[in-house]
């Protein structure tokens, strides 16, 4: 299957700082990338969908000014958590799908801890 | 009502047992259905798609009942390595909707 990477895999930061998470499709062109968040013992919740070169579509309840998404190329999307607070601590997972089918390939996730 | 509902478990079964997970979904217009496996602190990985006619992949059998909006996963001859959380996933358009998952622990 296709490979999606995320960086960093784990980040610990102080409250009020901003954190950028990168999601890369390594061996295919991802026309669409998805950002999910998963709290302990909860399901993955879709935060936003981004198509290369256009603005991300955010799910209800997700603040677009707090979670900045950039999908500047067909292989890279970034999620920036601005002014992070402890309640933003979570497991953030991206996925990517290409042009040939709608299957989503997941990155390994980024565990964010805000102190 | 949540879009995808699963029994969270945990299911504790001995090696070699057969175990079944169930899932219901609320959107009757849903088009595609999947079972994913998620290990602790890892990303979900696609286990198998679920087709209307039912499908089998080795020890795993998936069934879909569109009329009842019900999906099942059967694991036969369970192995220790099957211990994980199994996520029922429904695609209702552009996005995947995940259940909370059912936790399985296979013991020696």
The predicted-structure confidence for B6-33, as pLDDT tens digits, reads as follows 988 899 999 999 999 999 999 988 889 9
Chain B nearest CA to A109, separation (Å)? 6
Taking an 8 Å cut-off on Cβ atoms, the answer to whether A109 and B43 are in contact is: yes
Terminal-residue alpha carbon distance, chain A: 36
More confident residue, B8 or A91: A91
Task: Band the pLDDT of B1: cuts 50, 70, 90.
Answer: low
Chain B nearest CA to A91, separation (Å)? 8
Task: Band the pLDDT of A34: cuts 50, 70, 90.
Answer: very high
Task: Band the pLDDT of B81: cuts 50, 70, 90.
Answer: very high
Task: Name the least confident of A63-67, B49-53, B79-83.
Answer: B49-53
Taking an 8 Å cut-off on Cβ atoms, the answer to whether A107 and B43 are in contact is: yes
Angle at A4 between CA B23 and CA B62, to 5 degrees: 25
SS (H, E, C) A8-34: CCEEEECCCCCEEEEEEECCCCCCEEE
pLDDT of res. A100:
65
Q: Which two tokens stand for residue A114?
A: 């805000």
| DSSP class per residue in chain A | ---EEEE-SEEEE-TT--EEEEEEESSS--SEEEEEEE-TTS--EEEEEEETTSPPEEPTT--TTTEEEEEEETTEEEEEE-S--GGG-EEEEEEEE-SS----EE---EEEEE-
pLDDT of res. B24:
96
Exposure string of A78-104, with b = 16+ CB inside 10 Å and e = fewer, is: bbebeebeeebbbbbbbbbbbeeeebb
């Amino acid at each position: 299957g296709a490979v999606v990477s995320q960086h960093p895999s784990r980040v610990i930061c102080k409250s009020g700082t901003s954190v950028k998470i990168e999601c890369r499709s390594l061996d295919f062109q991802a026309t669409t990338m998805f950002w999910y968040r998963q709290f302990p013992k909860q399901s993955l919740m879709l935060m936003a969908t981004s198509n290369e070169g256009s603005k991300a579509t955010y799910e209800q309840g997700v603040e677009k000014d707090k979670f900045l998404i950039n999908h500047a190329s067909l292989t890279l999307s970034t999620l920036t958590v601005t002014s992070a607070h402890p309640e933003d601590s979570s497991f953030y997972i991206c996925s990517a799908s290409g042009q040939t089918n709608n299957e989503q390939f997941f990155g390994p996730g980024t565990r964010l801890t805000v102190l | 009502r949540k879009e995808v509902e699963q029994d969270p478990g945990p299911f504790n079964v001995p090696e070699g047992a057969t175990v079944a997970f169930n899932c219901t979904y609320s959107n009757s217009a849903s088009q595609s259905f999947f079972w994913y496996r998620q290990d602790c602190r890892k990303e979900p990985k696609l286990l198998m798609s679920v087709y209307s006619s039912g499908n089998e992949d080795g020890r795993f059998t998936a069934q879909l009942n569109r009329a009842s909006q019900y999906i099942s996963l059967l694991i036969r001859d369970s192995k220790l390595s099957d211990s994980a959380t199994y996520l029922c996933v429904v695609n209702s358009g552009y996005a995947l909707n995940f259940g909370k998952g059912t936790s399985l622990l296979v013991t020696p």
